[in-house]
Structure 1
Amino acid sequence: MGPRDDTTPAARHRLVPGLLAALLLTGCAAFEDRDDGEETPAPTGSVREVPLRVEEQGAQTLAFVQVRLQGAGPFEFALDTGASTSVVDDDVADRAGLELTGERRPVSGILGSGRVPVARVTDWEIGDVPVEPGEVTVVDLDSSRDDGEIQGLLGSDVLSDYGSVTVDYDDGVLRLPAP
């Protein structure tokens, strides 16, 4: 395989922290955390629950789910409703055998912008919940955190397919309606 993006190493180094900053500033802000003692009514129909790991980092709260790609994994993906497309770390894309489409999409963060490759995912799951085939952008996320824990971002492109999702921070559960 050829290079994954057309930015210089220095430009890419500036881009990744910007992407992470965008994740940390907008990623989980769109979820409602009810702490008023009231139960949120369950949506009609069947609901599937996916374990959710909630991590507090100073003033930031990140929510992680396990995602399998092409049968590989599980990988730690942060929920990011502010991301219009889901993102996969380039090492994860290689491990899962994702094939690049040849398309490059623009991405931007606080410190820079660039065009990154797109990969097709035909078989993936959030926990044990199947996800429709789709595309992800491929970015080097390893340097975005010291422990390299973020292996992808699950964006609104995937989450919106479920219509209504519930993120229960207290019980550590992501609820997705059944089809």
Structure 2
Amino acid sequence: MRFLTFCSAFITVGIFFFHFSAAAQTADTTSVPIRTVDGTPVVQVRLNGKGPYDFILDTGSNRTAIQPRILAQLSVPLQDRVDVDTALDGSIHERRAIIESISVGDVSVSQMYVDTVNSKLFSQKHQHIAGVLGESFLKHFDILLDNDKKILALDRTSRLADSLSGERLPFSRYGVRNGRRTLDRIVVELNIPRYRQQSLRCLVDSGASSPFLLPERSEAWRLQVLAHPSGLVTLSGDGCIEAGIPLIVGGSDLRTTEFFSCRNMTREAADTDCLLPTDLFKKIFVSHANSYLIVNPKRDAPKMQELADTVPLAR
């Protein structure tokens, strides 16, 4: 039996988000190693200059969250209670805190609001994880996730974008749930013709272990026709089904993509139609500055070498 291990289903896919004016500081570019823990990407993060701590890299979460025990170790006071909507557990209560600086490699963002996160929302193999690095941090940079070399590059200049070529797929910065927008999202349109003729709004989610469809309850039968039972279950014990469905992302046709759908994970509980894991691709570039992504970008060799000469791999 496999357990659903992606993080964003438990962290936030709902309507709560923060307004804040965190300031990016220190270096402009960096690259850091990515480790994979039970199929989930993990990077090392420093908090207020302390650490490093292991954080799940989660483009599917619009917030950054830290376990209360870590905040206590850092003597960071907890502030007001906040309500966070989740895909599986409805609205949960967390606490807000302010971190003076969050650093990945050589780049930092200062004065950032974060939430607490309960360790019970992590799988057993993720209990050592200190938190979730979400879009509230990542949106300050253009990012390249190189799944082949297991490297995350972050850049607040245009140099990384200028060094890459490929089809630029525009993305929206918000999801929609119950008629209300959720901000700090990476939502791209894609097509799954065997499932639905209309395009789907899909969340680009590095924290997802597999592609997931989030059907409206009234349309769940469409997937039932195509799917069969799987060995995957959620941490809440809900069973899932899977189906091999061709997926079209821009000009890329992924013909053998296995999609999952789990009971109680529906469009009504989420703000997009599906979850698109970043590890489906060898590389994926996300330009937060210009709201586009490139799947499997090609390198401009001279420009990449110029960038590499100025950006040592942080250890």
Indicate the SS of the match to 2:60.
coil
The one-letter code of the counterpart of 1:154 is: L
Instruction: Tell me if structure 1 keeps the 8 A contact 2:55–2:129.
Output: yes
Partner of residue 159 from structure 1, selected from 138, 145, 148: 138
The one-letter code of the counterpart of 2:135 is: S
User: Could you say which residue in structure 1 is the equivalent of 2:94?
Assistant: 116
Query: What aligned pairs does 1:75-154 form with structure 2 within 5 A after superposition?
Result: 75-141=53-119, 144-147=122-125, 148-154=127-133
CA distance, structure 2, for counterparts of residue 54 and residue 108 of structure 1: 24
CA distance, structure 1, for counterparts of residue 104 and residue 71 of structure 2: 16
Change (3 A) 1:158 1:176: same
User: Could you say which residue in structure 2 is the equivalent of 1:49?
Assistant: 31
Higher strand share: 2
Deviations 1:25-66 (A, max 9, x none): x9xxxxxxxxxxxxxxxxxxx7421121123x3xxx311110
Structure 1: state its 5+ residue gaps. 1-16, 27-45
Change (3 A) 1:130 1:88: same
Deviations 1:87-106 (A, max 9, x none): 10111111122222325242
Normalising by structure 2, what TM-score? 0.39
Indicate the SS of the match to 1:134.
strand
1:75 shift after superposition: 0.9
Indicate the SS of the match to 1:99.
coil
User: Could you say which residue in structure 1 is the equivalent of 2:9?
Assistant: 22
Instruction: Tell me if structure 2 keeps the 8 A contact 1:76–1:151.
Output: yes
Instruction: Tell me if structure 2 keeps the 8 A contact 1:54–1:169.
Output: no
User: Could you say which residue in structure 1 is the equivalent of 2:170?
Assistant: none
Deviations 1:96-142 (A, max 9, x none): 22222325242424033222101101122113322232111002226
Indicate the SS of the match to 2:80.
strand
CA distance, structure 1, for counterparts of residue 84 and residue 120 of structure 2: 20
1:154 shift after superposition: 0.6
CA distance, structure 1, for counterparts of residue 60 and residue 105 of structure 2: 21
CA distance, structure 2, for counterparts of residue 144 and residue 107 of structure 1: 16
The share of aligned pairs that are identical, in percent, is: 26
CA distance, structure 1, for counterparts of residue 121 and residue 84 of structure 2: 20
Normalising by structure 1, what TM-score? 0.66
1:85 shift after superposition: 0.7
CA distance, structure 1, for counterparts of residue 83 and residue 144 of structure 2: 29
- RMSD over aligned CA atoms reads 2.7
Structure 2: state its 5+ residue gaps. 14-27, 158-315
Change (3 A) 1:177 1:19: closer
Change (3 A) 1:23 1:165: farther
User: Could you say which residue in structure 2 is the equivalent of 1:39?
Assistant: none
Residues matched between the structures, number: 138
